[in-house]
Structure 1
Amino acid sequence: MTKGNSPIMAQMEKVYRHTRANSFATRARYESSCRNFIGFLDEKFKMKNLRNLQDKHVVAYIQQRQTEGIAPKTLKNDLGAIRYMHDMIPNIKHELSDNKELKNAFSIALDKTPAVKGNRAWTDHEYNDMQQSVREMAASNGRGSETAADVRDVMQLARTMGLRVTEAVAMSRSQVEQALRLGIYQVKGEAKNGKWRQVPLSSQGRWVMESRIQGVPRGERLFIRPGEKTHAAVNRVEKFMQNNRDQFETVEGQETRMYEGVANALTYHGLRYNYVQDRVREEMEKGYSKLQAAAIVTKEVGHERVDVIDVYLGDKG
């Protein structure tokens, strides 16, 4: 951030020099928040007059802070400080939106941290045992072998790329071709709420895509049979999981997934928990803080908020 008395920094200091509203501690906290904001405006927008401040400047700042892993509570405090300053500026040209209006107009998410309802991740033993079982069933070419092969691969995509079950099942040949070329998988309209996102292609994901794309005609999908609807294919692989998962649960797994006296069941969504936990740990091992790591990983799993990652970390946060 730019330091020193830029024109807008001098304007901000004048506001705080003359105001007597709120306590001294509150004013000091607000001024500290505004100094960061003013530095951002000076560097990013070369702004000369705070009377020109508008929503787009505030949104850009919040988005920058979110990429830095700043918690929603801190961002709300920042917004309070900015609005406090803005109210003291004479002859403003634009009104600033409140948090709800920012959310609706710019998709800025400042929600409270969701409740953490226990860990849902699989143990390595559970995952490896079920993978071994579905591999053997798929190789048998017997009844249910095709669905077993689908389950085998969808599990790997969920575990190593954080894909939701529908996102994996709806995977198209064109998406796979692009991923194999670029090393990044583009989740498109099949994503929850239709939010597109990019996910790093894992080595296991590459193996799945390279092996399954063989024989899939252009315009078709890798896991959906001819004439089959997407929801029917998703239901087919989910039913297989529901009918077979109990035999792979371990005492250790049940204990780690315990919430209010009941163990969370093995699910594809639980494999996203494994993915998030692994990825956050990987980023923290690079030297990032937990919040910074969460800011990176939350985009990979299709969320806008870093605090959602606390849900996936369960009791590992």
Structure 2
Amino acid sequence: MTKGNSPIMAQMEKVYRHTRANSFATRARYESSCRNFIGFLDEKFKMKNLRNLQDKHVVAYIQQRQAEGIAPKTLKNDLGAIRYMHDMIPNIKHELSDNKELKNAFSIALGKTPAVKGNRAWTDHEYNAMQQFVQDVAESDGRGTETAADVRDVMQLARTMGLRVTEAVAMSRSQVEKALRSGVYQVKGEAKNGKWRQVPLSSLGKHLMESRIQDVQRGGRLFIRPGEQTHAAVNRVEKFMQNNRQQFETAEGREIRMYEGNPNALTYHGLRYNYIQDRVQQEIGKGYSKLQAAAIVTKEVGHERVDVIDVYLGEKGSALL
């Protein structure tokens, strides 16, 4: 233990030293949030063991952070980090409530997180052109063929199943085997905030899983090379996207993604916008209201609030009313 560390700080550091879920950047951000929280617990409650963590401790921290003028988005990120850490602690004595339960039980007002700045969806032309490019590179004899194939498939998983880039890259053989049997893909600890969720298996997702799993050994992962860390694999496919995406932007796409005079860039996250927009439209087509459709889709993409879907719908949302 580093000199001066409290017992609970040492416990927290052990959690983050051994976890491999999420990207390197996300884990670093979570650990930073938890350090602040641990310092608060040590000073305010003299806590000795994180297994004793309860809602009352979290509520007290929320109240202090709000008194400091911390923005709702930052505070919600802090709470996600705290719950992630708590899930990694063995033999906990108490379950922690989610934000809605805290609001109802303790009259905590977390406030609404400001909307994401602008639409990020791709046009069909941009998506198809990028897919053709990575397919051509994957089939060539040049450099980057394996990464191009990874980019192609991660794009498809984001577009047709709403997976985040880390969720797709961290996909394991065992997860794929279960998905192919059940028709539902289980996102596990690699999810943002470590929140598990189930996603319907798309036909394209099924096809690429069936193809890729043939070359993956038991205990292996579909996109991570032997000896490669998850964050390094994520960085590899993200860098490929960043280095090549500009040539596929269209005037129509830039206009769609325009925010305060500047267009949002093409990203994997933008493909989640496409997925959500399509899925809400599909559910409305079945006879559901926009609110009912949003309630269905929000569970698939790992959000707790239905109104978050409005962020992804953007201007399309008004057309669905």
1:218 has 2:218 as partner? yes
**SS state of the match for residue 227, structure 1?**
coil
Tell me how far 1:314 sits from its aligned partner. 1.4
- 2:255 is aligned with 1:255: yes
Q: Identity, % of aligned pairs?
A: 85
- Structure 2: how far apart are the matches of 1:292 and 1:172? 32
Q: Which residue of 1 aligns with 2:238?
A: 238
CA contact (8 A) 1:116 1:314 kept: no
Query: Deviation at 1:113?
Result: 5.9
2:120 and 2:133 map into 1 onto residues whose CA distance is 21
For structure 1, the 5+ residue unaligned runs are: 1-96
Residue 189 of structure 1 and its aligned partner are, at CA, apart by 0.3
In the alignment, the residues of structure 2 paired with residue 104 and residue 227 of structure 1 have an alpha-carbon distance, to the nearest angstrom, of 46
CA–CA separation in structure 2 for the residues paired with 1:217 and 1:104: 47
- Where does residue 288 of structure 1 map in the other structure? 288
Cα 1:311–1:215 change in 2 (3 A) is same
SS in 1 for 2:204: helix
Relative distance call for 1:255 and 1:188 in structure 2 (3 A) is same
Instruction: Name 2:52's counterpart in structure 1.
Output: none
The code of the aligned residue for 1:235 comes to N
Q: Aligned residue for 2:169?
A: 169
CA–CA distance in structure 1, aligned partners of residues 111 and 210 of structure 2? 40
In structure 1, the residue matched to 2:69 is none
Deviations 1:188-222 (A, max 9, x none): 00000000000000011011101110120111100
> Which of 1 and 2 has higher RCO (CA within 8 Å, sep 6+)?
1
CA distance in 2, matches of 1:109, 1:190: 28
> What is residue 202 of structure 1 aligned with on the other side?
202
Where structure 2 has 5 or more consecutive residues not aligned to the other structure, the ranges are 1-96
Tell me the residue number matched to 1:155: 155
Cα pair distance change 1:288/1:173, threshold 3 Å: same
SS at match of 2:199: strand
Looking at structure 2, the residues matched to 100 and 268 of structure 1 have their Cα atoms a distance apart, in angstroms, of 29
Structure 2 distance, partners of 1:186, 1:169, is: 14
- CA-based RMSD: 2.1
Q: For residues 148 and 251 of structure 1, do their structure 2 counterparts lie closer, same or farther at Cα, with a shift above 3 Å needed?
A: same
* Distance in 2 of aligned mates of 1:104 and 1:163: 30
Normalising by structure 2, report the TM-score: 0.65
- C-alpha displacement at 1:103, in angstroms? 4.0
Residue number in structure 2 paired with 1:267: 267
CA contact (8 A) 1:197 1:300 kept: yes
What per-residue deviation string (whole Å, max 9, x for no partner) do you get for residues 146-198 of structure 1? 00000000000000000000000000000000000000000000000000000
Larger Rg: 1
CA distance in 1, matches of 2:210, 2:199: 17
Q: Distance in 2 between matches of 1:145 and 1:100?
A: 46
Equivalent position of 2:185 in the other structure: 185
Aligned partner of 2:13 in structure 1 is: none
CA distance in 1, matches of 2:274, 2:140: 29
For the residue of structure 2 that corresponds to 1:193, the secondary structure is helix
Instruction: Read off the aligned partner of 1:233 and give its amino acid letter.
Output: A
CA deviations 1:42-88 (Å, max 9, x no partner) are xxxxxxxxxxxxxxxxxxxxxxxxxxxxxxxxxxxxxxxxxxxxxxx
Aligned residues: 219
Q: Which residue of 2 aligns with 1:37?
A: none
- Post-superposition shift, 1:116? 4.5
1:164 and 1:268 in contact (8 A); partners too? yes
Deviating above 3 A after TM superposition, structure 1's stretches of 4 or more consecutive aligned residues are 103-106, 108-111
Partner of 2:70: none
Paired residue secondary structure (2:214): coil
Q: Is the 8 A contact 1:284 1:290 kept in 2?
A: yes
The match for 2:138 is 138
- Tell me how far 1:102 sits from its aligned partner: 2.3
- TM superposition shift of 1:141: 3.5
The CA distance in 2 between the partners of 1:244 and 1:175, in whole Å, is: 30
Give the C-alpha shift of residue 114 in structure 1.
3.3
